[in-house]
Chain A
Amino acid sequence: MTTVIDSQKQAQTANDELVIQFDGIINPIEIFRIAWEGVVRNKVRSFLTMLGVIIGVAAVIVMISISAGTEAQIAAQIQGLGSNLVFIQGSFGRGGQGGGNQPSLIYDDTAVIADINGVVGTAVEQATSQTVQANGQTLTEVSILGTTDDFPSVRQVEVANGRFFNATELEREAKVAVLGSAIATELFGEDDPIGQTLIIGTTQLTVIGVAAEKGVVGNTDFDSQIYTTITLLFDKFVPTRFRQLVGNNVRLIYAQIDEGSDMDGVIQQIELKLASTKDLAVEELPFVIQTQQDIIDTQGATTEAFRNLLAWVAGVSLLVGGIGIMNIMLVSVTERTREIGIRQSVGATPTDIRLQFLMEAFLLSVTGGIIGIILGVIGAILFGNNADTPTVIVPSSILLAFGSAAAVGIFFGFFPANQAAQLDPIDALRHE
């Protein structure tokens, strides 16, 4: 089977499988083969030439995987706070711009928010650090979290044993405690902690439940906390002087929104209700109301800025790599002038020569790119395993890195390839 257009010599080539006819240029596979021979002929130099691209590409992949990992970690932390949450953040009565008479977010606002249609639960948290005695042991600096009865559903903490306190107990400042799983084991070992008593500071509480294991989310180790009613916490564990200053101010109210409700509508309702409670216009409310997505987006903007910076750094290193390739290619063209002359004397056209050197530059940068990708992926995995920051390998970053490497090769190979193509065969053959 032959596809030779010229029929004259068909008989000669009739035995061969397939001959593709290219008008004007020689077979691209030949160009590739010639260029590849040029690359492997001088392995050490080719490798050193590629180094810039290798480092650039590996850096792009590692950097992007770190920033993507960080982003994913932040998103996971925010999602880990609970689901379908709205965060209402107050100014914490520090005076603000109003000079002391800024209305602040107080514990009682929780009830106002809880009444809104579409809000299925609210939670408030106030933490303190206390000494805990129980079962003959004394633990210092235990994190005590005062909260409300909706806490388990809003913050997605399950009670594994016993129960959480209820609204009545919250209202009555009941002296009850729910233990994190780790601290329960630490204090009571294999014994059932339910019904046992423990002394926090100087107040005696009864254990009514143990939370299921949840682990560390964000900066909070859920398993080593003790939960109690926020009302009790305000009353017993917040220092009097501090309380005079801040009253029952809270920094943050979590509101859980019904899955089916319109999030924006509910947020508007919250704003309206809070504004009317505080006797303010909605615009005057000194609170920040955000959804989880808002926070993820804010964080995303930060990481995106970071990522853009990294992209510039990587871009510069690829540029330097490209200049390295151009430099070596120019040296190579000078060094191989004789070879170019020989090729021209046996029939290579300027285009053949140009394509050969362009392909060589392309192969150098693309091979460098592939090595860089491999090293970058390995680097990202190693970094993710050994550092606090997780890494996520982004497939598009691999494509981006590979694409830029290829583009660098073609761009910086063009000038040397042109130099080679413009050589005069007579001069090239005479070149020593």
Chain B
Amino acid sequence: MSNQAIIQTTDLTKIYQMGPTTVKALDGVDIEIKQGEFVAVMGPSGSGKSTFMNIIGCLDRPTSGGYLLDNENVGELNKVQLAEIRNRQIGFIFQSFNLLPRTSALQNVVLPLVYKRKEQLTPTQRTEKAMHALESVGLADRADHVPNELSGGQRQRVAIARALVNDPVLIMADEPTGNLDSQTSLEIMTLLHNLHDRGRTLVMVTHEPEIADETERIITLRDGKLVQNS
């Protein structure tokens, strides 16, 4: 199981047109990430790291090149199909948590299930599933709290529960500890490692080497090209 490829890119290229000049944000990236891997993506700003994350996370489409996610060619899907892939296959964890304000932790976790198109769940099933996800991040007792009533670490754990709830093949974390103090960062990283230990595939963007070093593999991008793939 552990040697099956979740992400396979071939000559992944993204070109932005900025007025008269064209910017190659990604310049022929070939990469393979296997199931159960915990990968850190590093690189200075402007390295194409964000573009890479957006394309891998199906928020954006490559200009050219192939992208297989869980053996599904997602590089040429339209907006609606990409939304469906994000819902089914990918869980996002953001630096700024990105929880819906004035919405309870539980309802935030339920959100991906609301947009589930295939095998739709009943409200009871959704609540149950979301409660399970909250339990797995140790926040079952905070289910009714709105984000404003939660600490930064708790908010990020709600976000992790939301990323897990739909049982995705890939979890994308974009600077997950960027807004947290070191103690809380440690908690969140422990949580991510737990997920990894349970067989999840994680791709995490970070600029902190000590965080990246905790992972088993580091990908470094510079000027849209892969410079390190250890």
Taking beta carbons and an 8 Å cutoff, which residues of A are in contact with B?
A: 4, 6, 8-9, 12-13, 16-27, 30, 34, 37, 41, 338-339, 341-352, 425-426, 429
Q: When the two chains form the complex, which single residue of A4, A17, A26, A338 contacts B119, counting CB atoms closer than 8 Å?
A: A4
Q: In the complex, what residues of A have CB within 8 A of residue B102's CB?
A: 41
Q: In the complex, what residues of B have CB within 8 A of residue A23's CB?
A: 117
Q: In the complex, what residues of A have CB within 8 A of residue B125's CB?
A: 13, 16
Knowing A17-B122, A341-B98, A429-B98 are in contact, say whether A351-B116 is a contact too (CB < 8 A). Answer: no
A26 touches B60 (CB 8 A): no
B94 touches A13 (CB 8 A): no
| Most A Cβ at <10 Å: residue of B57, B84, B117 | B117
Chain B, residues 182-223, CB within 8 Å of chain A (1/0): the string is 000000000000000000000000000000000000000000
Chain A residue at minimal CB-CB distance from B111 = A346
Q: When the two chains form the complex, which single residue of A17, A22, A349 contacts B120, counting CB atoms closer than 8 Å?
A: A22
Q: When the two chains form the complex, which single residue of A6, A18, A41 contacts B118, counting CB atoms closer than 8 Å?
A: A6
B111 touches A343 (CB 8 A): yes
Knowing A16-B124, A16-B125, A347-B87 are in contact, say whether A352-B60 is a contact too (CB < 8 A). Answer: no
Pairs of residues from A and B, 8 with the lowest C-beta to C-beta distance, nearest first:
A347-B87, A347-B115, A346-B112, A349-B83, A16-B122, A349-B80, A9-B119, A425-B59
Q: When the two chains form the complex, which single residue of A8, A26, A342, A426 contacts B117, counting CB atoms closer than 8 Å?
A: A26
B80 touches A350 (CB 8 A): yes
Question: Would you give 14 A-B contacts (Cβ < 8 Å), ordered by A?
Answer: A12-B119, A13-B121, A16-B124, A17-B122, A18-B122, A19-B122, A21-B120, A27-B120, A30-B114, A37-B103, A339-B100, A345-B86, A346-B87, A348-B115
A347 touches B84 (CB 8 A): yes
Q: Does B88 contact A (CB under 8 A)?
A: yes
Q: In the complex, what residues of B have CB within 8 A of residue A9's CB?
A: 119
Give Cα A182–Cα B153 distance, bound, in whole angstroms.
89
Chain B residue at minimal CB-CB distance from A422 = B79
Knowing A24-B117, A27-B120, A426-B54 are in contact, say whether A349-B79 is a contact too (CB < 8 A). Answer: yes
In chain B, residues 96-140, which have Cβ atoms closer than 8 Å to a Cβ of chain A? 98-103, 111-112, 114-122, 124-125
B117 touches A346 (CB 8 A): no
Chain B residue at minimal CB-CB distance from A26 = B115
Chain A residue at minimal CB-CB distance from B124 = A16
Q: In the complex, what residues of A have CB within 8 A of residue B111's CB?
A: 342-343, 346
Knowing A20-B120, A41-B102, A426-B54 are in contact, say whether A351-B114 is a contact too (CB < 8 A). Answer: no
User: Could you list 17 further interchain pairs (A-B, Cβ under 8 angstroms) beyond the known A343-B115, A347-B166, A349-B84?
Assistant: A8-B119, A12-B119, A19-B121, A22-B120, A24-B117, A339-B100, A344-B86, A345-B98, A346-B162, A347-B84, A347-B87, A347-B112, A348-B83, A350-B80, A352-B115, A426-B54, A429-B59
Q: Does B52 contact A (CB under 8 A)?
A: no
A416 to chain B, nearest CB (A): 19
Q: In the complex, what residues of B have CB within 8 A of residue A344's CB?
A: 59, 83, 86
A33 to chain B, nearest CB (A): 9
Q: In the complex, what residues of B have CB within 8 A of residue A30's CB?
A: 114
Chain B residue at minimal CB-CB distance from A25 = B117
Q: In the complex, what residues of B have CB within 8 A of residue A26's CB?
A: 114-117, 120
Q: Does B92 contact A (CB under 8 A)?
A: yes
Q: In the complex, what residues of A have CB within 8 A of residue B84's CB?
A: 347, 349
Q: In the complex, what residues of A have CB within 8 A of residue B115's CB?
A: 26, 343, 346-349, 352
B92 touches A346 (CB 8 A): yes
Taking beta carbons and an 8 Å cutoff, which residues of B are in contact with A?
A: 54, 57, 59-60, 79-80, 83-84, 86-88, 92, 94, 98-103, 111-112, 114-122, 124-125, 162, 166
B106 to chain A, nearest CB (A): 14
A420 to chain B, nearest CB (A): 14
Chain A residue at minimal CB-CB distance from B112 = A346
Q: In the complex, what residues of B have CB within 8 A of residue A22's CB?
A: 117, 120
Q: When the two chains form the complex, which single residue of B59, B120, B124 contacts A345, counting CB atoms closer than 8 Å?
A: B59
Q: In the complex, what residues of B have CB within 8 A of residue A17's CB?
A: 122
Q: In the complex, what residues of B have CB within 8 A of residue A429's CB?
A: 59, 94, 98
Chain A residue at minimal CB-CB distance from B165 = A346
Q: In the complex, what residues of A have CB within 8 A of residue B80's CB?
A: 24, 349-351
Knowing A349-B84, A425-B59 are in contact, say whether A342-B100 is a contact too (CB < 8 A). Answer: yes
Knowing A19-B121, A19-B122, A26-B114 are in contact, say whether A347-B88 is a contact too (CB < 8 A). Answer: yes
Knowing A346-B86, A347-B112 are in contact, say whether A338-B98 is a contact too (CB < 8 A). Answer: yes
Q: In the complex, what residues of A have CB within 8 A of residue B120's CB?
A: 4, 19-22, 26-27
A343 to chain B, nearest CB (A): 7
Q: In the complex, what residues of A have CB within 8 A of residue B116's CB?
A: 26, 347
B118 touches A345 (CB 8 A): no
Q: In the complex, what residues of B have CB within 8 A of residue A345's CB?
A: 57, 59, 86, 92, 98
Q: In the complex, what residues of B have CB within 8 A of residue A8's CB?
A: 119
B164 to chain A, nearest CB (A): 12
Q: In the complex, what residues of A have CB within 8 A of residue B122's CB?
A: 13, 16-19
A58 to chain B, nearest CB (A): 31
Q: In the complex, what residues of B have CB within 8 A of residue A350's CB?
A: 79-80, 83
| Most B Cβ at <10 Å: residue of A26, A30, A342 | A342
B4 to chain A, nearest CB (A): 20
B114 touches A34 (CB 8 A): yes
Chain B residue at minimal CB-CB distance from A429 = B98
Chain A residue at minimal CB-CB distance from B92 = A345
Give Cα A22–Cα B118 distance, bound, in whole angstroms.
8
